[in-house]
Amino acid sequence: MEKHDCAALSRGEALRLGARDGIPIGLGYLAVAFSLGIIAEKAGLTAFQGFMASLLCNASAGEYAGFSLIMVRASLWETALITLIANARYLLMSCAMSQRMKRGTKLRHRLLIAFDLTDELFSIAVARAGCIEPFYSYGAMLTAAPCWAIGTAAGILLGEVLPPIIVNALGVALYGMFLAVIIPPARKSRILAGLIAVSFSLSWLFSAVPPLSSLSEGTRTIILTIVISAGAALIFPVKDDKEEEE
């Protein structure tokens, strides 16, 4: 990726550059969001509802969690809480982005960028040299975000007309995406691999053993997420550079 100093770019140049860099991200979003749309269709959402959901919440894990909870008729508080937990990493990304912006960047720009901050858009922004120009992020967002929403709507529409065997096959694609997310880091860290195995085991245990199995799926997910993440933080704290040197 080309590197440009934000101070040397006009707003128009930054917008065009961001739109160009957002094209491959948007194409990837179309494929992943299509599989997400299959899940949304099973949850009973219309194409318009799926389009708006993805336009307002551009987050694969958060939307998948939300659609899955809608599918099992979870309560509103369960859906809101688990979506918040699934998307909590974006709070950290927003803090990191704010440290790279030009001094004096207005609050409205910070809020707009935080609204549609995804892993991929965060990555291309922080990979650039110098400070982050808000209009670069706007350009990438304008290219990528509509693709995410269109892909979800397309998945819902085709999910209504395609044969069930094809719909089920496409629905598995989203699980493949999550495997692609967890397997590479798990291969590099035995601790992470162990935590993933513990998560799978406890998830099955909670679904099979009463009275835990009597809890709603949303409540079980919330409990497991908090307990496992808190336990991992206490047992395997992340050391800073100074502690590692000592």
Per-residue pLDDT of the chain (246 residues; tens, 9 = 90+): 444 455 567 888 889 999 998 898 888 888 888 888 888 988 999 999 999 999 998 887 788 888 988 888 888 888 888 888 878 778 878 887 888 888 888 889 988 898 888 888 888 888 787 788 889 999 999 999 999 999 999 999 987 777 777 766 665 665 665 676 678 778 888 888 998 899 889 989 988 888 888 876 667 777 887 888 888 888 888 665 455 455
- Which structural domain range is residue 211 located in? 189-237
Domain-located, residue 227:
yes
The torsion angles phi and psi of 106, rounded to 5 degrees, stand at -70, 155
**End residue of a domain, out of 146, 173, 200:** 173
User: Quick one: 105 and 47 in the same domain?
Assistant: yes
143 and 229 part of one domain: no
Residue 180 lies inside a defined structural domain of this protein: no
What's 99's DSSP letter? H
C-beta separation of 22 from 144 below 8 A: yes
Q: Which of helix, strand or coil describes residue 84?
A: helix
Q: What is the pLDDT of residue 20?
A: 92
pTM of the model: 0.68
Residues 165 and 200 in one domain: no
Q: Are 39 and 160 part of one and the same domain?
A: yes
Taking every pair of Cα atoms in the chain, the longest distance, rounded to a whole number of angstroms, is: 63
Helices H / strands E in the chain, number of each: 12, 0
* C-alpha Rg value of the chain to the nearest Å: 20
Give the residue from 111, 109, 153 showing the smallest Cα distance to 14. Answer: 109
The pLDDT assigned to 170 comes to 64
Non-local CB neighbours of 101 within 8 Å, separated by 6+ positions = 109, 110, 131, 132, 134
CB 151 within 8 Å of CB 29: yes
Q: Are 196 and 104 in a shared domain?
A: no
DSSP per-residue letters across 110-174: HHHHHHT--HHHHHHHHTSSSSBPHHHHHHHHHHHHHHHHHHHHHHHHHHHHS-HHHHHHHHHHH
Whether 178 is covered by a domain: the verdict is: no
Q: Do 36 and 115 belong together in one domain?
A: yes
What distance in Å separates the CA atoms of residue 227 and residue 225, rounded to the nearest whole number? 6
State the Cα–Cα distance between residues 195 and 220, nearest whole angstrom: 17
243: in domain: no
**30 lies in the same domain as 108:** yes
Backbone φ/ψ region at 102: left (φ over 0), alpha (ψ -120 to 50), beta: beta
**Number of domains making up the chain:** 2
Same domain as 135, residue 61: yes
pLDDT at 46: 93
